C-alpha cells in the first residue's frame, strides 16, 4: 500500500507537491512584499549614514559664532524697525567650508516690502549692506521677499 503525504492549507487538504495557482500567487505576493520591505529598510539604513562634515570645528568656535549670529540678528531687527519693518522674518543660513571659513545668506521676509517704493527699497538695501558681521572677513549676502 502506498502512502500519500497530505497537508492542510486554509482548511483544504492538499497532496504534497500540489499547490493551486491561487496559492502560488499568494506565496509570490508574500515574497514580493517581503522583498519590497527589505529594500525599503536597506534604503533607510543607507540614507541614514551620517555624512561626514566639519567635525574638526571646536565647540568654542561653534558657540562663538552662535553668539555672534544672535547679536547680528538683534542688529538686523533694529535696522528693520528703523525702516518700519517690525516683526520681519529673518532667516540666516551659513555655509562653512572645510577650512572653517563662513559665508552667510540673510533672507528678510515682510509683507510691507512688496509695497515699498524704489527709493525706500534702495535705502533698506543700503542700510543692510552697511551692516558688518562681527567678523568683518565673513561675507554676508542679503535678499528680501514679501
pLDDT attached to residue 105: 93
pLDDT attached to residue 40: 92
3-class DSSP assignment, residue 75: helix
Query: Number of folded domains in the chain?
Result: 2
Domain assignment present for residue 104? The answer is yes
Rounded to whole angstroms, how far apart are CA atoms 68 and 105?
Answer: 14
Give the list of residues 6+ apart from residue 49 with CB closer than 8 angstroms, or none: none
Low pLDDT (below 70) residues in the chain: 1-19, 50-58
Q: Does residue 74 share a domain with residue 19?
A: no
Q: Does residue 127 share a domain with residue 87?
A: yes
pLDDT attached to residue 7: 56
pLDDT attached to residue 106: 94
pLDDT attached to residue 25: 85
3-class DSSP assignment, residue 90: strand
- Look up the pTM and report it: 0.57
Domain at 132, CATH number: 3.30.300.20
Q: Give the residue numbers spanning the domain of 34.
A: 6-47
pLDDT attached to residue 22: 80
pLDDT attached to residue 45: 83
- Residue pLDDT, tens place only, 90-122: 999 999 888 878 899 999 999 999 999 999 999
Domain assignment present for residue 13? The answer is yes
Rounded to whole angstroms, how far apart are CA atoms 136 and 77?
Answer: 19
Q: What is the Cα Rg of the chain in Å?
A: 32
124's grid cell: 533698506
Domain assignment present for residue 78? The answer is yes
Element (H, E) at 7: strand 6-9
Amino acid at each position: 500500500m502506498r502512502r500519500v503525504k497530505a497537508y492542510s492549507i486554509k482548511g483544504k487538504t492538499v497532496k504534497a507537491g500540489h499547490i493551486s495557482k491561487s496559492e502560488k500567487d499568494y506565496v509570490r505576493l508574500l515574497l514580493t512584499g517581503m522583498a519590497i520591505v527589505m529594500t525599503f529598510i536597506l534604503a533607510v539604513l543607507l540614507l541614514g549614514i551620517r555624512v561626514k562634515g566639519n567635525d574638526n570645528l571646536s565647540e568654542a568656535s561653534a558657540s562663538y559664532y552662535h553668539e555672534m549670529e544672535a547679536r547680528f540678528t538683534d542688529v538686523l531687527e533694529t535696522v528693520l524697525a528703523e525702516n518700519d519693518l517690525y516683526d520681519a522674518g529673518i532667516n540666516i543660513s551659513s555655509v562653512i567650508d572645510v577650512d572653517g571659513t563662513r559665508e552667510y545668506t540673510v533672507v528678510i521676509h515682510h509683507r510691507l516690502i512688496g509695497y515699498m517704493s524704489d527709493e525706500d527699497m534702495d535705502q533698506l538695501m543700503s542700510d543692510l549692506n552697511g551692516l558688518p558681521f562681527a567678523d568683518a572677513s565673513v561675507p554676508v549676502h542679503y535678499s528680501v521677499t514679501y
